[in-house]
Chains A and B, each alone.
Chain A
Amino acid sequence: DAMVIQNPRYQVTQFGKPVTLSCSQTLNHNVMYWYQQKSSQAPKLLFHYYDKDFNNEADTPDNFQSRRPNTSFCFLDIRSPGLGDAAMYLCATSRSGGGTGELFFGEGSRLTVL
């Protein structure tokens, strides 16, 4: 009964070859996030969707894009992966409008760039 599901769990791509990571949720949360996590570093927020509104962090490279076709799904597109983009990518959801602000995370997608 996983609530935030990420696919694939492991992705290997070649330098410069586009890759798409997917995230789906059964929680009906209106906010969805993508974080990048490198070894021994804090998870770094790339962007988030508040309902249909896209919010990009100021330092997120243009190489990273996102789509949210409906409430349940969100995609992370990396247009031309570089070696420095190898990382764990974490999708998370939350419900806005009060409450504890807890984020619910998926298991992550580990990207390797050859």
Chain B
Amino acid sequence: GEDVEQSLFLSVREGDSSVINCTYTDSSSTYLYWYKQEPGAGLQLLTYIFSNMDMKQDQRLTVLLNKKDKHLSLRIADTQTGDSAIYFCAESLTGGGADGLTFGKGTHLIIQP
């Protein structure tokens, strides 16, 4: 079955790096995603990684995928107050998006001044 696990909270100091971790159970996952949700808003795609990749970097964001351990992480460099949000890990089995995504419960990123 599909299951995506994340820790619920992460607190970091402004300017430090944030690392949000996720584990998933289905080795058939073709794409893995990180979505961001700000208070009262919908989910916004931050980045994604294809299952045959180990790493993807996009400006301040670095995604690492360990397919053997079914572990995905999102690193945010130089964390700013605007990064305060809930971050959801998600997986897709079909890759074409037709069956939707399975989400984790989300990690609340709290920024300390």
Identify the A interface with B (CB < 8 A).
4, 6, 31, 33, 35, 40-43, 45, 48, 50, 55, 90, 92, 94-108, 110
Choice from B42, B44, B96 contacting A101 with Cβ under 8 Å: B96
Residues of B contacting A95 in the complex (Cβ-Cβ under 8 angstroms) = 97
Q: What's the interface size class on B, roughly? A: 20 to 34
Choice from A101, A102, A107 contacting B94 with Cβ under 8 Å: A101
Q: Flag if B42 contacts A90 (CB, 8 Å).
A: yes
How long is the Cα–Cα vector from A4 to B41 in the complex, in angstroms? Answer: 12
How long is the Cα–Cα vector from A41 to B103 in the complex, in angstroms? Answer: 9
Q: Flag if A98 contacts B88 (CB, 8 Å).
A: no
Identify the B interface with A (CB < 8 A).
4, 8, 30-31, 33, 35, 40-45, 48, 50, 88, 92, 94-106
Q: Flag if B41 contacts A101 (CB, 8 Å).
A: no
How long is the Cα–Cα vector from A103 to B102 in the complex, in angstroms? Answer: 11
Residues of A contacting B42 in the complex (Cβ-Cβ under 8 angstroms) = 4, 6, 90, 105-108
How long is the Cα–Cα vector from A106 to B98 in the complex, in angstroms? Answer: 17
Residues of A contacting B101 in the complex (Cβ-Cβ under 8 angstroms) = 101, 103
What distance in Å separates the Cβ of B103 from its nearest Cβ neighbour in chain A?
4
Q: Flag if A101 contacts B88 (CB, 8 Å).
A: no
Q: Flag if A42 contacts B97 (CB, 8 Å).
A: no
